[in-house]
Structure 1
């Protein structure tokens, strides 16, 4: 699942657009052709990354600010969503620019330390995302299926401890990524080209890539989503039973409470679906590469699939705030206030000044008549 795999971008461009150019006879012409075709493609992809980073940072930072400054919105789901947004911000600030730079240059620019640190941060962020979604599903299960359980005296402290535990657990699982990621040499048989890049395993042997890709797929995708599916199975069953057992003229307060819990459950389910859709292509491409490791695929289809999978995976880090904006009217209102925090006071002041001036003029105008 690592995003630090070689892309073979130059070889793909050369094989697709200039197959008649010989590297041995005209190296200068070949290099110039590669760069003339590679640079516009890299600029376009990097621009997409820049848009994702900018939109994601605005949305997630505003979400965190909203939940921590508005006291009425500091409930259990929103605290978990703040932790989720913090992981997305970390991914967008560190890993997304590094991944975008790989489309502009053939060389790894961040040294051996960066080669170990960047995959560690990326895997930590992915772990925080999927495990936080599992914790949110468990919280919705408790709120809907077992609502009569005694709540803790300090729920905010308890949720912060659980969020910190998720972060520590994700960092622990990402330690092997930092240990084994290193600068490795890769070669392309079609062009007899050798280059050094950051990868989570050496180019010799295919057992390590298979184990790495399958373990990542199970730990960070299949198992958490399976647990979430079990939670939502019991949530759906409980909601169906309560709908049949509730009388037609039931308590209005109970009905409103049930509707609120349903909305929160749907919101978490939307976040889970977004994560599943955005990260599945990246896992599929990584599994394909791992099980065809000795054969470097330089086809256009593989290149487009890889780029789309990477972009979609990073896009998951910027869609959650805007999905919440569409699903929650209360968050929509507070989100707008945080983005336009300086405009309302100016409008109010101008209105108050206008009113005071009209009052003064009315008094002056009535004074002669009195």
Structure 2
């Protein structure tokens, strides 16, 4: 994605050639900083807790380890990375103009969270294509879990590659002027054209191109599931499978639309002409746009809980100690812990072996009786 550092924060030199901070005009009063702190803190807490539960639900329950859910785990991990490593740090820099976190974290934050954002949109695209193949071309081989893990690794490698320039052109400065000392973490591009075309290219491959692919693919999937005709007489099992597939596609379309709405204003903001930096309310606009983009990291768990009964059961189980959370109900007993699943499987296997042993013993006794009768 575009750089997370507020472009309205910059350093210039005065007429004597001595540097001074040009960010003071954007430094917010303490009451405004406190007011903005609440929604930003809510993002971080909701994103970490919600996505953490999503990861637990999938990894701790054997029946949830499907290809699609592996991608959802990767998406949740990316959202946790964005919320943990970026949101608060960029917020504090945006409202104070002073970078408190040192040189290493300057490079780290300009690379790792942006890579996670790229990984998010690539993961959504991978889920879309996996659903497309499974629904539109059901006779083709399905993606295995091993293949899904390989795709996830490829997603992160591609995401890291496209964000390498953000690490290369990151710079950390420390200035002293009179009695004041402050630090700045920002990008230093060779010229404005390089920055502009990189932003355009990044927006294309991290936003518009994936959304175009998903729009076309989900349109075909939707036509297949809702408007397509079932050959022959549809069985109850087939109708239930179609219903389940529709629910998954509906859930993922809502996730994609949410991503699109949250990130579009942010992309548009960084394509505005340089004159926008001089507007006195630009800092408030940036904080609102940045909050909307970062808030995308907390919405997905709510969507899963709303539209998927297994995730809902997992959330109710994880949050059962919270007041007002209903008792977890799993009517179809489809969501089981690993240990429970293994023990149940062991018990079933033992019963089956015992049954087979009894059958073999009974067969042997009958054979002996037949033999004895023949002899007689």
Which interval holds the TM-score relative to the shorter structure?
Answer: 0.7 to 0.9
Alignment partner, residue 167 of structure 1: 156
* Matching of residue 256 in structure 1 with residue 236 in structure 2: no
In structure 1, distance between residues paired with 2:276 and 2:311? 50
Q: Which residue, 218, 229, 245 being the options, matches 2:215?
A: 229
Query: Cα 1:295–1:76, aligned 2, differ >3 Å: closer, same or farther?
Result: closer
Alignment partner, residue 200 of structure 1: 187
CA contact (8 A) 2:170 2:188 kept: yes
CA deviation profile, 1:187-222 (whole Å, cap 9, x unmatched): xxxxxxx986322234x8421221122112111101
CA deviation profile, 1:54-91 (whole Å, cap 9, x unmatched): 11111000110110001111111111000000011111
CA contact (8 A) 2:123 2:152 kept: yes
Alignment partner, residue 298 of structure 1: 279
TM-score computed with the length of structure 1 as normaliser: 0.76
Give the alignment's Cα RMSD to 1 decimal. 2.9
SS of match in other structure, 1:198? strand
Query: Cα 1:141–1:46, aligned 2, differ >3 Å: closer, same or farther?
Result: same
* Matching of residue 41 in structure 1 with residue 22 in structure 2: no
What is the Cα deviation at residue 103 of structure 1? 4.2
Question: Post-superposition, which runs of at least 4 consecutive aligned residues in structure 1 deviate over 6 A?
Answer: 31-35
In structure 1, distance between residues paired with 2:36 and 2:252? 31
CA deviation profile, 1:249-285 (whole Å, cap 9, x unmatched): 5211111111111111111111110110000010010
CA contact (8 A) 2:91 2:287 kept: no
Mapping 1:110-149, distance limit 5 Å: 110-149=101-140
TM-score computed with the length of structure 2 as normaliser: 0.74
Structure 2: gaps spanning 5 or more residues: 11-22, 176-180, 328-376
CA deviation profile, 1:324-365 (whole Å, cap 9, x unmatched): 10011121012211223899xxx9xxxxxxxxxxxxxxxxxx
CA contact (8 A) 1:60 1:321 kept: yes
Alignment partner, residue 182 of structure 1: 171
Query: Cα 1:240–1:54, aligned 2, differ >3 Å: closer, same or farther?
Result: closer
CA contact (8 A) 2:203 2:267 kept: yes
Query: Cα 1:139–1:91, aligned 2, differ >3 Å: closer, same or farther?
Result: same
CA contact (8 A) 1:206 1:294 kept: no
CA contact (8 A) 2:119 2:156 kept: yes
In structure 2, distance between residues paired with 1:185 and 1:284? 30
Alignment partner, residue 145 of structure 2: 156
Query: Cα 1:32–1:195, aligned 2, differ >3 Å: closer, same or farther?
Result: closer
